[in-house]
Chains A and B, each alone.
Chain A
């Protein structure tokens, strides 16, 4: 835990140092005339990136978790095939396509990215909620019913605590996906750590690209490990790459 904390401090220190390390960037990219990214404060970009991705995950949780609970209760079970279909469809459409499709509707800026983020983060949360709830031992539920717990009490006192590990690993996937997709949102005008990458690519400035990519990757890796600790040992990361 402490290592994560130290690394976080190092990350923030690097964010502070980056605009001041002109000599370093110039040395790495001698042919670039303006190698130091200074158009936005890195802290602003970080904050915006986190607000976008974590905000989306929060919204996705509000959507996905109750939906997952509903899908495991009586009437909702009939809609399971529709859920499976949505998961299957989502596999075939990369998040960047959804951002692109939302753009004409919502205009430039954070909105289309936010929409794509919420939709894509809701899926692993939904899936994990359903899987976790379905894995609850039936005899524990039967005993709970016989002892006199109401349906709400059964959900809150027995089912959700037992589903928690699976749900947390779903959360991990959702956050990883969200952080990665938020970076791509820079092409749609979202302000985030991906913005220097996109700006650098558009203006043939590899220094910008490197700085943006470094911090984006570092953030993503740190968050992934932090969530891994939260979910506890034995929680697995999904095997899918994040867009």
Chain B
């Protein structure tokens, strides 16, 4: 869906991006991970042409983003920023309706879309539609920002450190909302963050940026696995390495047939990490997987996966 070909960007004496090339398949949630100054935000903004690369090109659905009208391009891409940037003088509903209004949708269609989007991001339309941004909390504002970005149903969503300014609890809430929305809508999402945790929680694929270069790119488990580049491993505290690896492994991979009694129940689609935490809380050494035929996950399987053995 998105392809970077030899993208470089320099301003003055600074080389913000050096020859970055990789592709983002359609429907993936790819996280651009890196420290400040690594070039991740700069790379993100080449996609909607807020920054024009000094070399190389960016292709969106096969077409060079540099061709054509930038405004038209941006109206077809969702954009969410850290400080949200809601228009203070307009209501929540009016904010969400911004791009559909620009595209000339008729009023009834816009209203229905606004309501649908507010529900999608977890805000009750009746309660929030007419509120002013100043009355919203940080988390609520960013949900509105997300709704606004999705309003015209763009195939691609760009997010620049969207949750970094929020407190941890709110951040978790929005992360799971994003995962749910991504699963429901199947859009291509490019998300920038400096938080490894967040990357592990959200990403289908991760692209690690260092000093303007692409240091590594792949799925979290590939990047954390024994054979992969150690770029990502270096960013994670050693004692948490196994913990993170487990997040990328579905609980079902180590499951053993047979029911168990008295064991805690795992939710649908849980990872090994969630299973471990559940067992810790319940004080059990196994957990029951949902569905038929009955299966359960023993603690031993988790230990094996953490050590990097067993099926992945």
Contacts and interface: CB of A to CB of B under 8 A. Distances in A.
Chain A in direct contact with chain B (Cβ < 8 angstroms): yes
Given A147-B148, A148-B102, A140 B88 contact: yes
A136 to B, nearest CB: 9
A158 B74 CA distance: 17
A137 B72 CA distance: 24
A140 B85 contact: yes
Nearest to B74: A148
Given A148-B72, A161-B89, A143 B79 contact: yes
Interface string A145-156: 111111001000
B137 to A, nearest CB: 16
Contact of B75 (A140, A148, A162): A148
Contact of B50 (A137, A146, A149, A150): A146
Contacts of B88: 137, 140, 162
Interface string B65-98: 0000011111111010101111111000000001
Q: Identify whether the interface residues of A are mostly helix, strand, loop, or mixed.
A: helix
Interface string A114-146: 000000000000000000000001011111111
B48 interface: yes
Contacts of B85: 137, 139-144
Contacts of B76: 148
B70 to A, nearest CB: 8
A145 B50 CA distance: 8
Residue from B84, B87, B88, B145 having most chain A Cβ neighbours under 10 A: B87
A161 B88 CA distance: 10
Interface centre among A144, A147, A150, A158 (most CB of B within 10 A): A147
A60 B32 CA distance: 51
Interface bin, chain B = 20 to 34
B50 A140 contact: no
Contacts of B102: 147-149, 153
B22 to A, nearest CB: 22
A150 B71 contact: yes
Contacts of A141: 85
Nearest to B98: A147
Contact of B81 (A139, A153, A162): A139
A144 to B, nearest CB: 7
A143 B79 CA distance: 7
B223 interface: no
Interface footprint category on A: 10 to 19
B99 interface: yes
A146 B89 contact: no
B74 A147 contact: yes
B293 to A, nearest CB: 50
Interface in A80-133: none
Contact of A162 (B48, B77, B89, B149): B89
A146 B71 CA distance: 8
A158 B98 CA distance: 11
A119 B76 CA distance: 46
- With most chain B CB atoms within 10 A of its CB, the pick from A139, A141, A146, A161 is A146
Interface in A144-202: 144-150, 153, 157-158, 161-162
A146 B86 contact: no
Contacts of A147: 74-75, 79, 98-99, 102, 148-149
Contacts of B84: 139, 143
B60 to A, nearest CB: 14
Given A137-B85, A148-B71, A150-B71, A143 B145 contact: yes
B78 to A, nearest CB: 9
A78 to B, nearest CB: 19
A144 B99 CA distance: 10
Interface in B39-72: 48, 50, 70-72
B87 A148 contact: no
Interface string B88-124: 1100000000110010000000000000000000000
A139 B148 CA distance: 14
Contacts of B70: 148
Contacts of A158: 87, 89
A147 B71 CA distance: 8
B68 to A, nearest CB: 12
B71 A140 contact: no
A150 B74 CA distance: 10
Contacts of B77: 148
A162 B133 CA distance: 13
Contact of A140 (B48, B79, B87): B87
A23 B98 CA distance: 66
Interface in B3-50: 48, 50
B73 A148 contact: yes
The 8 closest A-B pairs by CB, nearest first: A143-B85, A148-B74, A148-B75, A146-B79, A139-B83, A139-B85, A148-B71, A140-B85
Given A149-B71, A149-B98, 4 more contacts: A137-B88, A139-B83, A139-B85, A146-B79
